[in-house]
Amino acid sequence: MDVKDGRTVKGVNFVDLRDAGDAVELAAYYAEQGADELVFLDITATHEKRKTLVELVQKVAKELNIPFTVGGGISTPEDVGVLLNAGADKVSINSAAVRNPQLISDLAKRFGSQCVVLAVDAKCVDGNWEVYLNGGRLSTGIDLFEWIVKAEQLGAGEILFTSMNHDGTKNGFANETLVKISEMVNIPVIASGGAGNMEHFADAFIEGKADAALAASVFHFKEIGIPELKKYLKTKNIPVRI
């Protein structure tokens, strides 16, 4: 769930955002539908130089009985403590980790690696995958693969990789890149960006070797039902919790 001004939103290639509904109501719905985890990203917190909406995190957490990851505007261990106290199980860090890689180690030592999800927004430019910050607004020139390997060494417990080229397009995940990432690290890799049908999820697991697949618009706008998706994946011999 990408959240802006307290509302769930969804765009294409990180722009042209449209409203997808009330964040608290959607969270409750997804927990009821059988989602395995919920990822809540306050997508303008870093760009607007403010903290994640803590009160909204508290309201969402009360509706959930599944793991809850929160990201957006996190730059210190204190920020993480506030969010965990508000009901988050894990935190997602992105821009702040690139600017200060030591933050990954600091958080892992204080809260445990299992709590630290490194979110990476990357775009393929002229055949090279570059890391982007501030909700995809700022190119860093940093190589995606080098950054992910370094992040694992620093203590990241999971990688949430979003392909900006695929985001919102519904043309499938970046499977060639996913498998390369999966072979480079020994921590779970979450695929994000590009889900359009059930086959795309299966491809992310089978071809991309992803450990999990994240999607937004196909669920927000009721194009794919979570129970139906899980049943489909089971027919493909992909382990799912039903």
- Return the pLDDT at 220: 82
Catalytic residue (choose from 79, 121, 167, 203): 121
Structure confidence at residue 47 (pLDDT): 47
Q: What is the pTM of this model?
A: 0.89
Q: For position 177, what pLDDT does the model report?
A: 97
Domain 2-235 adopts which CATH fold? TIM Barrel (3.20.20)
Mean pLDDT per block of 10 residues along the chain (242 residues) reads 72 52 87 95 58 82 95 91 95 95 98 97 94 84 97 98 88 97 98 95 98 90 94 97 88
What is the DSSP secondary-structure string of the chain? -EEETTEEEEEETTEEEEEEEEHHHHHHHHHHHT-S-EEEEETTTTTTT----HHHHHHHHHT-SS-EEEESS--SHHHHHHHHHHT-SEEEE-HHHHH-THHHHHHHHHH-GGGEEEEEEEEEETTEEEEEETTTTEEEEEEHHHHHHHHHHHT--EEEEEETTTTTT-S---HHHHHHHHHH-SS-EEEES---SHHHHHHHHHTS--SEEE-SHHHHTTSS-HHHHHHHHHHTT-----
89 catalytic residue (yes or no): no
The pLDDT assigned to 18 comes to 52
Q: What is the pLDDT of residues 177-210, one digit of tens each?
A: 999 999 999 999 999 999 999 999 999 999 999 9
Give domain limits for the chain.
2-235
Annotated active-site residue 121? The verdict is yes
